[in-house]
Amino acid sequence: MRSFVSAVVLALAACGTDAVDHDPPLPPPDPEVCETSYLRYDNFGAGFTASWCRGCHSSDVAEGGRQGAPLGVDFDTEADLEHWADRIAARATGDKPTMPPAGGPAVEERALLAEWIGCGMQ
């Protein structure tokens, strides 16, 4: 797999608290990866977040059903994801990602998410 994708393991924020000011930002991708990336919101981002995030991070989920996800930290739209991109990356980057808190996507799926976010979430 591409060097950038292999180097970055990323999980999308799904549920739980979002106090992450101390976490590092997503590292910049290898420009060659972004030149050839096929990942877009329509073919990756929308489905990924629907599967792994919106169960807690949706404006349709009441406070009691959000499993600790703060009100207003919602991933309903492409614009929402762009707004929260740094926070999503911070919570999901590294060897011990905190989102989703009960596990979540496979390493390969997380790597695709890292590529998508790192290449500008097109």
pLDDT for the residue 26: 59
Is the predicted pLDDT of residue 11 greater than 60, yes or no?
no
Q: Is the peptide bond before 100 cis (omega within 30 degrees of 0)?
A: yes
Which residue in 28, 49, 42, 33 sits closest to 118, CA to CA? 28
pLDDT in tens, 64-122: 999 999 999 999 999 999 999 988 877 765 667 788 888 788 888 888 888 899 899 98
Whether pLDDT at 8 is above 80: no
Total-model pTM: 0.74
Q: Are the C-beta atoms of 6 and 111 separated by less than 8 Å?
A: yes
Report the pLDDT averaged over residues 55-70: 95
What Rg do the C-alpha atoms of the chain give, in angstroms?
Answer: 13
Share of the chain above pLDDT 90, in %: 48
Could you tell me which residue, 3 or 69, shows the higher pLDDT?
Answer: 69
| pLDDT of 15 strictly over 50 | no
CA 97, CA 42: separation in Å to the nearest integer?
25
Residues pairing with 93 in the sheet: 10
- Rounded Cα distance, 114 and 39, in Å: 10
